[in-house]
Amino acid sequence: MYQLKGVTKRYMRGKNPVDALAGVDLTIEDGGRLVIQGPTGGGKSTLLQMLGGLDRPTAGTIELDGVDLARLPESRLTKVRAESIGFVFQSFNLIPTLTAQENVETALVPLGLGARNRRERAAEELESVGLGDRPNHLPSEMSGGQQQRVAIARALVKRPKVLLADEPTGNLDESMRDEIMDLLDGLWKEHGLTFVMVTHDSSLARKAPRVATIRKGKVTVTENAAA
């Protein structure tokens, strides 16, 4: 369970401070699904980075199961990222020189698994995102949708507690969006993940039971009983 209190992230743009997050209070239950919306530059990505332990807030606390990520030593934070967080990026962020299979394996490297175990688990995970037939393709040899599937497999192969996705369909054609969304929803249900996703798609947001909207670093949460 996430508990955020007074989370502020201040960036300096030249000499002017910019509060990407300005005192965010937010709770996300285990197994919950939260959709984050808001205008560009509102602070969506910044919030996701805080949740994923990719960066630290300027002020406030981010508790994940009672542990404050904001004050965790770097080595422990690295461990949290390695074990508990799955991150899916808008632009896939695959390692361009590694194959699909190897890209998925990179997520298992910090867990200290044996090479064989790693290979098997990565192959299984590729299978479950529907790419079992092309483990040896390079990112450049795959479509955007396929690349994002590899990225999803990479995020989930470690069996994380949390899946964070920052506009996962933002770089995809219309036709592939639903495919990826369906895949993510299926995996969320299957693995009982805590799933936080940033999206621009307002139709998707309308269907979601819980939506957080970020404007100028301020969050408002809408519970959608109808959905």
Partner 1 sequence: MFFTYLRRELRRRRKAALVVASGLALGIALVIIVTSVSSGMSKAQDKVLESLYGLGTDMTVTKAAAAQGAGGTQRPRFEFDAKEDEDATQSTDRVMVQGFQTLASSTVGKVGEQAGVADAVGGLSLTVMKVDGQFKRGEFKQDESAGQGGPGGGQGGGGQPQGEVQGGGASFDVNSFTVYGTDVTQQDLGPLTSSQITKGRTFKATETDAEVAVVDSAYAKEKELAVGRTVTVSGTEYTVVGVSTADSGDAAANVYIPLKQAQTVADSKDKVTTVYVKAAGSQQIDTVKAAIQKNIPGTTVTTSADLADTVSGSLSTASDLAAGVGKWLSAAVLVAAFLVAGLLTSSAVSRRVREFGTLKALGWKSGRVTRQVIGEALVNGLMGGVLGIAAGLAGAYVVTAISPTLTAQLGSTGGGTGGGPMGGGGGRQTASRTLDIALTAPVSLSTVLGAVALAVAGGLIAGAFGGWRASRLRPADALRRVA
Ligand X SMILES: Nc1ncnc2c1ncn2[C@@H]1O[C@H](COP(=O)(O)OP(=O)(O)O)[C@@H](O)[C@H]1O
Q: How many residues bind ligand X (CB under 6 A)?
A: 12
CB of 224 to partner 1, least distance (A): 28
The total of other beta-carbon atoms located within 10 Å of residue 71's CB is 12
Q: Between residue 58 and residue 117, which ones bind Mg ion under the rule CB under 5 A?
A: none
Does residue number 149 form part of the binding site for partner 1 (CB under 8 A)? no
Which of 7, 38, 45, 128 lies at the binding interface for Mg ion (CB under 5 A)? 45
Are the C-beta atoms of 2 and 66 separated by less than 8 Å? Answer: no
- Kindly determine how many residues on this chain lie close enough to bind Mg ion according to the rule CB under 5 A: 1
Per the DSSP assignment, residues forming a β-bridge with 210 are: 223
Q: Which helix (H) or strand (E) holds 205?
A: helix 202-207
| Candidate residues 10, 18, 32, 55; the one interacting with partner 1 per rule CB under 8 A | 55
Q: Does 161 bind partner 1 (CB under 8 A)?
A: no
The answer to whether residues 218 and 24 touch, using CB atoms and an 8 Å cutoff, is yes
Shortest Cβ distance from residue 157 to ligand X (Å)?
Answer: 26
Helix (H) or strand (E) holding 170: none
Task: For residue 177, give the amino acid letter.
Answer: R
Among 21, 105, 128, 184, binds partner 1 (CB under 8 A): 105
The rounded distance, in Å, linking the Cα atoms of 12 and 120 is 45
Which of 61, 106, 171, 213 binds partner 1 (CB under 8 A)? It is 106
| Rounded Cα distance, 3 and 65, in Å | 8
Task: Tell me which residues in 32-61 interact with ligand X (CB under 6 A).
Answer: 38, 40-46
CB 13 to ligand X: min, Å: 5
Token pair recorded at residue 161: 């507690």
First to last CA, the chain: 22
Q: Which two tokens stand for residue 26?
A: 């937010």
Interface residue list for ligand X (CB under 6 A): 11, 13, 18, 20, 38, 40-46
Interface residue list for Mg ion (CB under 5 A): 45
Interface residue list for partner 1 (CB under 8 A): 45, 49, 52-55, 74-75, 78-83, 85, 87, 89, 93, 95-98, 102, 105-107, 109-111, 115, 118, 154, 166
